[in-house]
Amino acid sequence: MEAAACPYIVRYYSSWLEDGRLHIQTELCDGSLRGRLKQRQDLLNPKFSEPEILEVLRHVASGLRVLHGLGFAHLDIKPDNILVSRCYKIGDLGLASAAMGTGCDDITEGDCRYLAKEVLQGDLSELPKADVFSLGLVLYELATNPTPLPSNGEEWQLLRHDAKVSILKLSASSQQLIQDMVHFRKELRPSCEELLQKVGVESVQALEEENRRCRAEALRNKQLADEYWQEMLQMKKQELLSSPQALDKPELRRSRTSH
């Protein structure tokens, strides 16, 4: 599957049930964009710089372009679901839906701070553009940190009624880009392909080099995850062999004495 090979989407490796709980093994990441936002709140200037914001845009839009190309929308793009490794990666596909709104019981379960208004109103005709809206608000939040996004009220309404985005520290072109992403008319928002063209990812060579670095990091993280999994299996095995119940089971006693 193309999404599994995309360096901007967190990789899934395996899953299993243990003690009545579902465990999911994914690519190992260093944290989330939400964590980075919180870390910077204690700094003199907690706002993300324009190059940093454009890097988030480039990476997340690249991941969304693949997801949308496969016919799906994420529907819960927010800093909590953007994970950090050598590059930014989209995680938590729990609300992912077919791009035309099928396959999800309740699309409005996403975080209301980032949801486009048309989704809340039941308009599911162009869900990839709802992802673009959510990403636009993520970029806005990075540029205005530590001011939180509203979950309701007048400011929430303004952000969904074509209010002029004014971020003094950003260039006019970047402000306009975010403005276009959060346009109240979904058909006037750019696609992820158009976003990447606007931020200068026409250079195939540069993008391929970035992809190569991210894939190398993903491979390293998989190796670390596999090592951790093997250590956990060994610990579980030793725990079973050391338990009182093991003494009552001949097959476990034989395994124990063979070590």
Asked if the bond preceding 146 is cis, omega within 30° of 0, the reply is yes
In whole angstroms, what is the distance from residue 230 CA to residue 256 CA?
19
In whole angstroms, what is the distance from residue 144 CA to residue 137 CA?
10
The helix/strand/coil state of 51 is helix
Catalytic site includes residue 19? no
- First and final CA of the chain: distance in angstroms? 42
In whole angstroms, what is the distance from residue 7 CA to residue 63 CA?
8
Task: Give me 69's structure tokens.
Answer: 């190309």
Task: Give me 209's structure tokens.
Answer: 């080099």
In whole angstroms, what is the distance from residue 215 CA to residue 85 CA?
11
User: Between the CA atoms of 158, 162, 164 and 166, what dihedral angle is there, to the nearest 10 degrees?
Assistant: 70
Nearest alpha-carbon partner for 30 in 239, 217, 212: 217
Q: Which residue among 76, 80, 105, 111 is the active-site one?
A: 76
Question: Which amino acid appears at position 135 of this protein?
Answer: L
In whole angstroms, what is the distance from residue 22 CA to residue 60 CA?
27
Nearest alpha-carbon partner for 118 in 191, 186, 64, 165: 186
Task: Give me 253's structure tokens.
Answer: 């006693």
The residues annotated with a catalytic role in the active site are 76
